[in-house]
Amino acid sequence: MARETKLEDIVSLCKRRGFIFPGSDVYGGMAGTWDYGPLGVALKKKIMNEWWKFWVEGREDMFGVDAAILMNPKTWVASGHTATFSDPLIECVNCHGRFRADKLGDFPANVTKEQIVGAGIKCPTCGQMAWGAVRQFNMMFSTHVGPIVDDTSIAYLRPETAQGIFTNYKNVVDTIYPNLPFGLAQQGKAFRNEISPRDFVFRSREFEQMEIEYFVRPDAWKESFESLLKDVHFFLEEKMKISPEKIHELEVPEEDRAHYSKRTVDVEFDYPIGREELMGIAYRTDFDLKNIERESGKKMEYRDKNTGESFVPHVIEPSFGVERLIMAVLCSSYSEEEKDGKTRVVLKLPENLAPYRFCVSPLLKNKPELVEKAREVYNNLREKYGNVTWDDSGNIGKRYLKQDEIGTPKCVVIDFDTLEDGTVTVRDRDTTEQIRVKSTEL
């Protein structure tokens, strides 16, 4: 029976093989930030590109936008973030450690100090039970724009990409006038001053989102909601190759939904840290566009091309976190196999997501004729596919194990037979089987 994958396995692999490093690692790190190495940035870009191809380029009813990270502060007043975007914070009077209060146990978001004390919760840092009062902590990062630092120059790093879509809704309607229903999609950075970032890249202070705001007639939201939810499953299971058995739907009850949502389904994944939200899809009604109307004084109506009827569209939002999707892909792909008393770590990434499609090696690096031929094959494959790597370090067995760990589907080895008949050895990552084929047929 295969050993259950632990979070430490994923973290260790990511640092060992150059996927993900702690942010500012050379200076001791910075909590809640992560840097992507050569393999990590390749995996990340492939995931984001697959998302864009599926949701935007593969559909007639989707269009892309790319809004600025810094936005007019009225944006966050209209959206409710200025007033309500907060988490409960509690401080230990003894060691001054600060924690997200509702995560210290099974508590609601409005947890009180008395509930925490009553449950016998001790400080995770010092072990004392010396809690201060619970207070709300706004998670938006604030900054100042321009040369003068005062109350009029305050701005925020966006805590979500969605509002950049809503503020551009009217621009899109006025310029390309798409048929309803239609969606606007955006990928980009978001920032949240998390009280206690944790669980690797699962909850961090700087992250990327891939969000869609899908605009519909008010009476047609249910059909669109179900259709988009079905597409979410197809994308996760067919494009990301995440096992359907590890994906679950949670119909979020009214008391737990965001204030703007009339229906929310959280799509959860069985991470090593437990079953947690991978992405969500929410019916936001006309909450955002109505708020923009109120704050800006500009109409957000859509005029139907056929009937001439004008109305404010309702919105369905599929929202993906890039880092959570990366974690799900890594966890789904990671495996350890015992063979001949040795453990082989294999990252069984689908070919469309693997950082490298091929690894090309000369059987012996001290034989110029093999190296020259291997370089020829390498250059041809690199020109054809792009994501091809070269490896001539160590013996061939160690090269195979290294490529297994980083998820390379095929290893191509040039040996003396190649010089005679033009065939190469191709080894499959998942089965370890080897076949010989013409190098020109790769």
Q: Is residue 288 part of a domain?
A: yes
More confident residue, 110 or 280: 280
Bridging pattern class, strands 142-144 and 154-156: antiparallel
Average pLDDT on 168-187 reads 96
Q: Where does a domain end: 105, 120, 138?
A: 138
**What band does 1 get if pLDDT is binned at 50, 70 and 90?**
very low
- The amino acid that residue 349 corresponds to is L
Rounded Cα gap, residues 425 and 3, in angstroms: 31
Same domain flag for 115 and 157: no
Residue type, 41: V
CA–CA dist 392, 396 (Å, integer): 8
Residues 181 and 259 in one domain: yes
Alpha-carbon distances of 86 from 41, 137, 194, 198, 297, rounded to whole Å: 31, 5, 9, 17, 27
Residue 223's pLDDT is: 96
- Tell me how far apart the alpha carbons of residues 163 and 319 are, in angstroms, rounded to a whole number: 12
Q: Find the CATH number of the domain harbouring 257.
A: 3.30.930.10
Specify whether the CB–CB gap between 228 and 281 falls below 8 A: yes
Task: Tell me what pLDDT residue 224 has.
Answer: 96
Domain match, 313 and 437 both: no
In a domain, 197, yes or no: yes
Same domain, 154 and 271: yes
User: Do the beta carbons of residue 181 and residue 217 sit within 8 Å?
Assistant: yes
Percentage above 90 pLDDT, the chain = 76
Torsional class of 59: left (φ above 0), alpha (ψ -120 to 50), beta (otherwise): beta
Which pairing describes strands 423-428 and 434-438: parallel, antiparallel, or unpaired?
antiparallel
> Is the residue at 2 inside a domain?
no
Determine the pLDDT at residue 59: 96
So what's the pLDDT on residue 255?
84
Count other Cβ atoms within 10 Å, centred on residue 429: 23
CATH number at residue 373: 3.40.50.800
**How many whole angstroms separate alpha carbon 102 and alpha carbon 106?**
7
- The helix (H) or strand (E) run that includes residue 287 is helix 287-296
Closest CA to 163 of 215, 204, 203, 211: 211
- Contact indicator for 294, 78 with CB cutoff of 8 Å: yes
Whether residue 252 contacts residue 126, with contact meaning beta carbons closer than 8 Å, is answered with no
Q: Are 302 and 315 in contact (CB under 8 A)?
A: no
Measured CA to CA, the distance from residue 428 to residue 400 in angstroms comes to 10
pLDDT, tens digit (0-9, with 9 covering 90-100), for 222-243: 999 999 999 999 999 999 999 9
182-216 confidence digits (pLDDT tens): 999 999 999 999 888 889 999 999 999 999 999 99
Residue 107 lies in a domain: yes
pLDDT average, residue stretch 165-183: 95
DSSP letter assigned to residue 278: E
Does residue 267 sit within a domain?
yes
Question: Parallel, antiparallel, or unpaired for β 434-438 and 20-22?
Answer: unpaired
Task: Tokens for 21, please give them.
Answer: 């490093």
The answer to whether position 235 is within a domain reads yes
Closest CA to 75 of 185, 144, 163: 163
- In this structure, the answer to whether residues 105 and 203 fall within a common structural domain is no
Same domain, 187 and 265: yes
Mark whether 111 and 178 lie in a shared domain: no
Residue 314: CB partners within 8 Å, gap ≥ 6? 215, 216, 217, 218, 221, 283, 284, 285, 286
Instruction: List the single range of 254-258, 285-289, 326-330, 342-346 with lowest mean pLDDT.
Output: 254-258
Farthest-apart Cα atoms in the chain, separation: 80
Find the mean pLDDT for residues 411-437. 94
Residues whose CB is less than 8 angstroms from the CB of residue 276 and which lie 6 or more positions away in sequence, other chains included: 202, 268, 269, 324
E strand or H helix at 384, and its extent? helix 368-385
| pLDDT of 2 higher than 70 | no
% of the chain exceeding 70 in pLDDT: 99
Lowest mean pLDDT segment, chosen from 42-51, 97-106, 240-249: 97-106
Q: What are the tens digits of pLDDT across the range 421-432?
A: 989 999 999 999
Question: Could you give the angle at the alpha carbon of 316 between the alpha carbons of 315 and 319, nearest 5°?
Answer: 125
Q: How many CA atoms lie within 13 A of 419 on its CB side?
A: 11
Extract the tokens encoding 303. 């005029």
Q: Is residue 1 part of a domain?
A: no
- Residue 122's Cβ-count burial label (10 Å; 0-12, 13-18, 19+) is middle
Whether residue 81 lies inside any domain: the answer is: no
pLDDT, the chain, mean: 93
- Shortest CA distance to 304 belongs to which of 211, 220, 213, 185? 220
User: Are 96 and 244 in the same domain?
Assistant: no
Q: What's the pLDDT at 139?
A: 83
Range of the domain at 93: 86-138
Our count of domains for the chain comes to 3
- pLDDT category, 71, cuts 50, 70, 90? very high
Is residue 436 within 8 A of residue 425, CB to CB? The reply is yes
Are residue 188 and residue 43 in the same domain, yes or no?
A: yes
Residue with tokens 């947890």: 111
Pair 174, 310 in one domain = yes
SS3 of 354, please? coil
| Residue 46 pLDDT class (50, 70, 90 cuts) | very high
Residue 170 has pLDDT above 80, yes or no: yes
Q: What pLDDT score was predicted for residue 5?
A: 87
Indicate whether 320 and 383 sit together in one domain. no
Evaluate whether 386 touches 392 at the Cβ level (below 8 Å): no
Backbone angles phi, psi at 103, to 5 degrees: -95, 0
Q: Model's pTM, two decimal places? A: 0.90
Q: Do 41 and 178 belong to one domain? A: yes
Nearest to 134 by CA among 67, 179, 86: 86
- Which residue is listed with tokens 């079905």? 230
pLDDT bin (cut points 50, 70, 90) of residue 374 is very high
Q: If we measure between CA atoms, which residue out of 187, 185, 166 comes closest to residue 71?
A: 166
The beta-carbon contacts of 3-11 under 8 Å, at least 24 apart in sequence, are 3/336, 4/272, 5/272, 5/331, 5/334, 5/335, 6/272, 7/199, 7/200, 7/271, 7/272, 7/273, 9/272, 9/334, 9/336, 10/200, 10/272, 10/327, 10/330, 10/331, 10/334, 11/200
